[in-house]
């Protein structure tokens, strides 16, 4: 929390605009927000116009009501995120609201990463970039094979997407916000947020998708695909994610060794590589393992939860379900906490729900840091 002397130097009109956008992203009217923070609706109008200043307590209450950290109002968004279209009262949609909330979470996540870097407890790996030409899905898939080679994965399953992203220089936050995900490269920091909503295969696909934006470069970082439409760029990223998660070579190897039906083979592969059924079918088509008619038939025969689990001997496959922050980031938080560089409360906040309560943190000589 900042003190009033710091707040008095702020641009209140800019803070008001951030309050307005956070309110719209949350889907609240001015009256609804006013009721949540025990203020008159006219006060919200004045705050959003910059005509009324706020004290630290009021700002904290607004942040709590809007599900954003106080820093969201006090610090500008990273320049890399400043491209977004502002929300308006009459044009806000469910999709645009989800997009802005994810972007807000991403901006806060970048600030968290930068804080630990400044404290010296977090040293990210260099950001991995593919320097080959990417002009379509095939070359994007080749980039995924290159990355697997760089990381020594071969065609084996990826056990932890969060750990793999860290090895590539990108830190992942898993959030309960609606939507899929968002990512950005802000100078020397690469960050991504992935929604916890949806099934596990979708979360892994989203994480791989956001990693693809970093590795290939996109409108947030480089000039890749300037002549391509957004749909064409997304098709490239989708091809990268699919090949990263379930390589064509793995399907061909399994098909040549097993005598089971194509469906049984693909159920096992989808479970082992933790991908969606639709992604497994697309990659099987690309591998030449099935044709269009077989793919259409298999799409109408979705595997059950029991089939997936039984194909792996009921081994737990948590990955992005049980974590909220990248493992290296979590270790950096604990290091800063043990060193007395952050308070118990701040350490708990930085874990973003990975801990159940502050009591999960170990005792230290002094819980509060000046």
Say what the pLDDT of residue 294 is: 94
Which of residues 308 and 44 earns the better pLDDT score? 44
pTM, to two decimals = 0.82
Which candidate, 368, 344, 155, 352, places its Cα nearest to that of 244? 155
Query: 319 pLDDT band (50/70/90 cuts)?
Result: low
Query: 330 pLDDT band (50/70/90 cuts)?
Result: very high
pLDDT digits (tens, 9 = 90+) for 163-222: 999 999 999 999 988 888 999 999 899 999 999 887 777 889 999 999 999 999 854 334
Say what the pLDDT of residue 202 is: 85
Mean pLDDT in residue range 219-246:
75
Using alpha carbons, list the distances in angstroms from residue 129 to 178, 185, 244. Answer: 29, 11, 15
Given a cut of 90, whether residue 150 has pLDDT beyond it is yes
Q: How far is CA 211 from the centre of its chain?
A: 9
Instruction: Evaluate whether 149 touches 265 at the Cβ level (below 8 Å).
Output: no
Say how many C-beta atoms besides its own lie within 10 A of residue 247's C-beta: 23
Instruction: Evaluate whether 343 touches 322 at the Cβ level (below 8 Å).
Output: no
Which of residues 93 and 316 earns the better pLDDT score? 93
CA torsion, ordered 315, 317, 323, 327, to nearest 10 deg = 90
Given a cut of 80, whether residue 5 has pLDDT beyond it is no
Q: What is the mean pLDDT of the chain?
A: 85
Given a cut of 60, whether residue 8 has pLDDT beyond it is no
- Structural domains in the chain, CATH included, are 4-76 (1.10.260.40), 137-245 (1.10.10.2910), 248-303 (no CATH)
pLDDT digits (tens, 9 = 90+) for 262-284: 999 999 999 899 998 999 999 99
């Amino acid at each position: 929390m900042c003190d009033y002397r710091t707040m008095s130097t702020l641009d209140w009109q800019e803070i008001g605009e951030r309050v307005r956008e956070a309110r719209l992203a949350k889907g609240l009217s001015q009256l609804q927000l006013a009721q949540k923070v025990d203020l008159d609706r006219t006060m919200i109008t004045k705050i959003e116009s910059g005509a009324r200043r706020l004290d630290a307590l009021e700002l904290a209450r607004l942040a709590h009501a809007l599900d954003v950290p106080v820093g969201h109002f006090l610090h500008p968004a990273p320049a890399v995120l400043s491209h977004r279209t502002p929300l308006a009262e009459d044009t806000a949609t469910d999709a645009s609201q989800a997009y802005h909330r994810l972007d807000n979470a991403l901006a806060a996540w970048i600030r968290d990463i930068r804080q630990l870097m400044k404290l010296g407890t977090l040293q990210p790996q260099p950001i991995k970039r593919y320097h080959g030409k990417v002009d379509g899905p095939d070359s994007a898939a080749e980039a995924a094979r290159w990355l697997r080679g760089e990381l020594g994965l071969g065609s084996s399953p990826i056990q932890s997407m969060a750990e793999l992203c860290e090895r590539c220089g990108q830190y992942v936050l898993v959030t309960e916000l609606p939507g899929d995900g968002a990512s950005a490269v802000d100078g020397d920091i690469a960050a991504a947020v992935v929604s916890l909503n949806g099934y596990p295969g979708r979360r892994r696909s989203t994480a791989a998708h956001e990693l693809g934006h970093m590795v290939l470069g996109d409108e947030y970082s480089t000039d890749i695909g300037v002549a391509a439409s957004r749909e064409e760029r997304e098709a490239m990223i989708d091809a990268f994610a699919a090949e990263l998660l379930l390589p064509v070579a793995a399907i061909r190897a399994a098909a040549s060794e097993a005598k089971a039906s194509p469906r049984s083979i693909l159920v096992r592969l989808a479970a082992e590589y933790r991908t969606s059924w639709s992604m497994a079918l697309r990659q099987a088509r690309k591998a030449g393992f099935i044709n269009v008619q077989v793919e259409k038939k298999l799409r109408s025969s979705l595997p059950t939860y029991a089939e997936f689990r039984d194909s792996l001997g009921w081994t737990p496959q948590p990955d992005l379900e049980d974590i909220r922050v990248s493992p290296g980031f979590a270790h950096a938080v604990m290091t800063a906490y043990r060193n007395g560089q952050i308070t118990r409360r701040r350490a708990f906040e930085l874990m973003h729900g990975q801990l159940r309560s502050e009591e999960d943190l170990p005792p230290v000589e002094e819980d509060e840091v000046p």
